[in-house]
Structure 1
Amino acid sequence: MANELAGKVAVVTGGASGIGRGIVERFVAEGARVVIADRDGERGSDLAAELGSNALFRTADVADQEQVGALVDVAVEHFGGLHIMVNNAGISGTMHNRFLDDDLADFDKIMAVNVLGVMAGTRDAARHMASHGGGSIINLTSIGGIQAGGGVMTYRASKSAVIQFTKSAAIELAHYEVRVNAIAPGNIPTPLLQSASTETESAELKRFEERIRETMRADRPLQREGTPDDVAEAALYLAGDRSRYVTGVVLPVDGGTVAGKAIRRRAKRTEDQTN
């Protein structure tokens, strides 16, 4: 559908790269005006310049509540309102071979970005939406918040918290016609995964990431690799009027990973092959 978000104003945190960039590009293509928020000023400014007058970049660290609130103010002042809030900004944690070796040194930082940032973004967007006819809030979690596993325990805990918060906020904010939903990406190649390792040489980091990707591919029912565009398509659905009766859902975009491990079957031999 062309111009599905015509007349809408959105804020996308972590919008300068990866999944956030994919969402920004799709929203603008569908007619929305978008405030791009990110700590990466160079990438964010370049993206806004590329997209033209319907995009505006602001440097922001979502771990700072005042900076999150300022994004809502910018959207209202520059574009005249706020209809869609995408709380996408997130960080991973240091990968440890064993939880027993985890010093939890990154706990406060991960929780501040992944949980506090989402809660503040939801609250501040809803404060405006509640008195302006409602709106759509989309929080990015992860299949790591749905499925148990090892490796990055604080990250998993933070993404689980986003899921519970999203459902709770959806119940409370429904009175104001504010819908709150979550997307749980999985197996989407983005720069985020690189932050899950300790500092290593680039070649070792590449091997580390490929091992994780290979495990993901083996478990994924759909064989096609996921992309930020796939997540952006889900965000478009939750942002627009097609989902006006949808709130409190967690939508995995993961090639079927959380549904169950892949079943690989041998292709049937043709009659010619058997004879």
Structure 2
Amino acid sequence: MSEKVAIITGGASGMGAATAKRFVEEGAHVIIADLQVDKGNELATSLGDNARFIATDVGREADVVAMIEVASSQYGRLDCLFNNAGFGGVGGEIHETDMGAAYEQTVSGLLTGPILGMKHAAPIMREQKGGSIISTASVAGMRGSMGPHVYSALKAAVIGLTQSVAVELAKDSVRVNAICPGGIMTPIFLGDRRPKSGSNESLEEVLRPVFSN
């Protein structure tokens, strides 16, 4: 990862923060994109000169454009995009599903975010003839009962999106992958009593070879 440039959305805590720490340890330049301003700034400061924070709502296209522009203008390239921002979103039994603001926010964060990330990372990666885009999906997108209904549906959509975009960008040597973790000890799952299948540290070990060219 030495001198690679990586953007990590949802990078201020959980899996994103663990990945940011490991990438910086291995010599990468990391842009931490998150809505958690205090946590993001604190993490970037603790990681030193190879990390910086940018406040980002991944569901807002202007924010995503600005995020990509930081990599382009400051480093002249983008090697890795980790679409990791997320939250549990609207829950409840299917007949209780809130189709209002909570639903729109869930779709924006879990699906619009990865779409916008891929949309704006693709041109710079195509031009440099290489790069890696990875999105956090979930086992909830692969089988039932593993997450709230809307969350599960959107994670399944991320898997399909990843497979489709991977075919498009393969000719430009841009790799597009998704990871499907089970229960991980992140803030999203702190209140979940189901057994957890791993830690943040074990997951970022998986991410490193996926990102490395």
* TM-score interval, normalised by the smaller of the two chains: over 0.9
Shift of the alpha carbon at 1:78? Answer: 1.7
* 1:230 alignment partner, one of 195, 202, 205: 202
- The secondary structure found in structure 2 opposite 1:137 is strand
For the pair 1:164 / 2:160, whether they are aligned, the reply is yes
User: Cα offset for 1:231?
Assistant: 1.4
When residues 178 and 151 of structure 1 are mapped into structure 2, their CA distance, relative to the original with a 3 A threshold, is closer
Aligned: 1:216 with 2:195: yes
Residue 118 of structure 1 is matched in structure 2 by 114
TM-score calculated relative to the size of structure 1: 0.74
Question: In structure 2, what is the equivalent of residue 240 of structure 1?
Answer: 212
Identity of aligned residues (%): 38
Correspondence for 1:40: 36
Q: Equivalent residue of 1:37, what SS?
A: strand
User: How does 1:72-83 map onto structure 2 within 5 Å?
Assistant: 72-83=68-79
Q: Is the 8 A contact 1:38 1:58 kept in 2?
A: yes
- Shift of residue 103, structure 1, vs aligned partner: 2.8
Unaligned runs of 5+ in 2: none
- Within-5 A mapping of 1:47-62: 47-62=43-58
Q: Secondary structure at the match of 2:180?
A: strand
1:205 is aligned to: none
State the structure with more CA Rg. 1
Q: Secondary structure at the match of 1:53?
A: coil
1:80 positional shift: 2.7
Matched, 1:20 2:16: yes
The equivalent position to 2:94 in structure 1, one of 99, 106, 112, is 99
| Residue of 60, 65, 75 corresponding to 1:69 | 65
Q: Does the 8 Å CA contact 1:13/1:36 hold for their aligned counterparts?
A: yes
Give the drift of 1:107.
1.8
The whole-number CA distance in structure 2 between the counterparts of 1:60 and 1:161 is: 22
Aligned letter for 1:47?
L
What's the Cα RMSD here?
A: 1.5
Q: CA deviation at 1:173?
A: 0.6
Question: Cα–Cα, structure 1 residues 149 and 6, in superposed 2: closer, same or farther, change >3 Å?
Answer: same
Change (3 A) 1:150 1:8: closer
| 2:98 alignment partner AA | D
SS in 2 for 1:179: strand
How many pairs are equivalent?
Answer: 212
Partner of 2:131 in structure 1?
135
The one-letter amino acid paired with 1:234 is: V
Alignment correspondent of 1:87? 83
Deviation at residue 102 of structure 1 after TM alignment: 2.3
**AA paired with 1:25?**
K
- In structure 2, C-alpha distance between the alignment counterparts of 1:69 and 1:158, rounded to whole Å: 23
Shift of 1:150: 6.8
The secondary structure found in structure 2 opposite 1:34 is strand
Query: What amino acid maps onto 2:205 in structure 1?
Result: E
SS state at 1:130 partner: helix
C-alpha contact (below 8 Å) 1:99/1:150 kept by paired residues: no
Q: Is the CA contact 2:90–2:150 (under 8 Å) kept in the aligned structure 1?
A: no
